[in-house]
Amino acid sequence: MELKIKKVRDNAVIPTYGSEAAAACDLYACIDESVTIKPHETAFIPTGLAMAIPVGYGGFIYARSGLSCKNGLAPANKVGVIDADYRGEVMVALHNHSLEEKTIEPNERIAQLVIAPYLKVDFKEVEKLDDTNRGEGGFGSTGRK
């Protein structure tokens, strides 16, 4: 699949895959100087890129495991969604979950991007839903005996 991508900043880095079978590609910080994020604060980090995601697909921005687990930096919205009709610059809202200031350097890998299909549904209001074994059990109810 080909994805059209445009640099909206000269120093932007095109996303890269870390391995042949990687599901996600890395997004890079397109900043001219370091950005320090204070504990429990969020910074919007530009990627310098815009893209034309095909209709029927979405771009989903996830945390990089090393950055989130080792440094406490992860997307503030947990998963960012890039809609197929969005043509603006892709930004990553990085939140610092740690108790220390964390610094992002220019061209640092800051998040992962997955391009994936989605289903669009027509909602139909009904009076009753089908019965299942699980029923209305939620939030850990399936592991109880």
Q: Which tens digit of pLDDT belongs to each residue from 115-144? A: 999 999 999 999 999 998 887 777 766 666
State the pTM of this model. 0.89
The residues facing 26 across adjacent strands are 16, 112
Tokens encoding 41: 């604060």
- At 57-89, the pLDDT tens digits run 999 999 999 899 999 999 999 999 999 999 999
Domains of the chain (ranges, CATH numbers): 4-119 (2.70.40.10)
| CB-CB contact of 60 with 80 (8 Å) | yes
Measured CA to CA, the distance from residue 122 to residue 117 in angstroms comes to: 17
Going by C-beta distance under 8 Å and a sequence separation of 6 or more, which residues neighbour residue 12? 28, 30, 47, 48, 49
Reply yes or no on whether the pLDDT at 29 is more than 60: yes
In whole numbers, what is the pLDDT of the chain averaged over residues?
Answer: 94
The residues facing 82 across adjacent strands are 59
Predicted local distance difference test score (pLDDT) of residue 88: 98
